[in-house]
Amino acid sequence: MKGSVDRYFLLLCIVGLFAILSSTMSKDPVLPLYATSLGTPDTWTGFVAAASTVPGILISLPAGSLSDVYGRRKMLLISGIIFASAPFLYLFINSWWELIPIRFYHGFATAIFVPVANAAIIDLFPTTKGARISTFSSMTLVGRGIAPFLGGYVLSVTNNNYGDLYLAVAVAGVTTLIVGLPFLLRRDLSPAAGTGRRSGKAIVKGWGEVARNKSVQIVSFVESVQYYVYGAVEYFLVGYLSVVVGLNSFLIGIIQGGYILMVMLSKPFMGSLSDRIGRRPPIAFGAVVMGLPLIAIPFTTNYIVILGLTLVYGLGFAIVTSSTPALASEVVPKAFVGTSMGFLSTIMDVGQTLGPIISGFILASVFGYAGLFISLTILLVFSSAVFLLSGVGKGIPKEG
């Protein structure tokens, strides 16, 4: 059975790579260009960009809890069908406003897939879930990292033919479903078989139980802060490097790609470490490691120094986020593991959405870039202090 479980995990990693490759390539770098070519009014560009992120806030929690009841396999199949079908809808777009409902539909795929896949991994690997979830996350980052290069290449060789680009997206989406289908149909490999007997009222009651769980609240707060900061850095670091430091797009790309590569490579090791020593030290320490480099960035224009600082920032992000999903699953009853993953994903999406918005106001104030980056450090250190003082995770046995 161990061999079957390991094959299931390998499959899930491959599916995750193609799934995130498909969803990311549908927006980066094509979406802004496609929206402009369709004549999207400036006042509506934000709605086009945000349409696919809204399902993450709306559906992650219900998807996770439904997987507790009806099994992970069924929900993963649903997400696979959306990954495979959504890209074809772009081929029939005639007006800019049609992008919004199609992007909204496409967003359901990732909103369902990520929390349910994490819950499935926790079911399959209860004693090594930190390492396994982190490895899976790193594989999705491979897909996310390849997507802009592949999408840009397709656009360049097809002379900005958006139809051909979305056909490439469709190929990746259909591959997601085809690769996963044979294993997802095998009931003996279906994690969390589910009873299917909870009423809608009972499911909603389960949401309340998880949402009122103080430990889940604290872990979700820490996670949301990580992604609040990640979203802000991802958006505003480019402006600082371009406007203040004066770097070209190639050098900026090296810095951005560098910290993403650091996250991708270090996450599996950090997850394995948290399995051995517990979740508390990595979460508390990692938030500080992530925050300290950010406070120094606005006070230097040296390229090598900034590159080094962002690599440390990426390492800190990997340390924290390799432990938070595992801890969230350990502070709830086994019947609510999927619900806890959905709740964590929902709060994470809220944080990532608010990060650029609030940071934009800080940047526009008299505080500028210095105030922006300092505010991110303060928030990360504060989240570490709140987590330590809360005592969440104490008494949970180490798994390594």
Outline where DSSP puts E strands in the chain.
none
CA separation for the pair 140, 23 (Å, rounded): 11
Q: Could you check whether 1-191 and 213-392 share the same CATH topology?
A: yes
Question: Torsions phi, psi of 186, nearest 5?
Answer: -85, 115
Residue 180 tokens, joined: 């996963």
Give every CB contact of residue 248 below 8 A, 6+ residues apart in sequence.
none
Between CA 274 and CA 235 the distance in angstroms is: 30
Q: Residue 169 class from Cβ within 10 Å (0-12 exposed, 13-18 middle, 19+ buried)?
A: buried
In this structure, which topology does domain 213-392 adopt according to CATH? Growth Hormone; Chain: A; (1.20.1250)
Give the pLDDT confidence score for residue 399 in this predicted structure: 64
Measured distance CA(113)–CA(111) in Å, rounded: 6
The span from the CA of 365 to the CA of 229, in Å, is: 18
Domain ranges of the chain: 1-191, 213-392
Distance CA 185, CA 189 (A): 8
CB environment 127-142: b (16+ within 10 A), e (fewer): ebbbbbbbbbbbbbbb
Q: Residue 346 has what pLDDT?
A: 94
Residue 194 Cα to chain centre, angstroms: 25
CB atoms within 10 A of CB 187: 9
- State which amino acid sits at residue 188: D
Tokens of 246: 């004066």
CB contact at 8 A, 259 and 311: yes
DSSP 240: I
Residue 184 three-state SS = helix
Residue 275's nearest CA partner among 67, 135, 138 is 135
- 331: DSSP letter: T
Angstrom CA distances, 169 to 22, 149, 163, 211, 399, stand at 5, 13, 10, 36, 39
φ, ψ dihedrals at 118, nearest 5°: -60, -40
Residues 6+ apart with CB under 8 A from 199: none
Sequence-distant (6+) residues with CB within 8 A of 166 are 26, 30, 87, 88, 90, 91
Rounded average pLDDT per 10-residue block, the chain, 400 residues: 79 95 90 90 83 90 92 92 97 95 96 95 92 96 90 89 95 95 67 57 86 96 96 87 86 87 94 95 96 95 95 97 96 93 94 88 91 96 97 76
Which pLDDT does position 199 carry in this prediction? 63
Distance in angstroms (rounded) separating the CA atoms of residues 269 and 362: 35
Side chain identity, residue 170: A
Q: What is the DSSP string of 20-70?
A: HHHHHHTTTTHHHHHHHHTT--GGGHHHHHHTTTHHHHHHHHHHHHHHHHH
Pick one of 3.30.2320.50, 3.40.50.300, 3.30.70.260, 1.20.1250.20 as the CATH number of 1-191. Answer: 1.20.1250.20
Largest Cα–Cα separation, the chain:
61
pLDDT of residue 352: 87
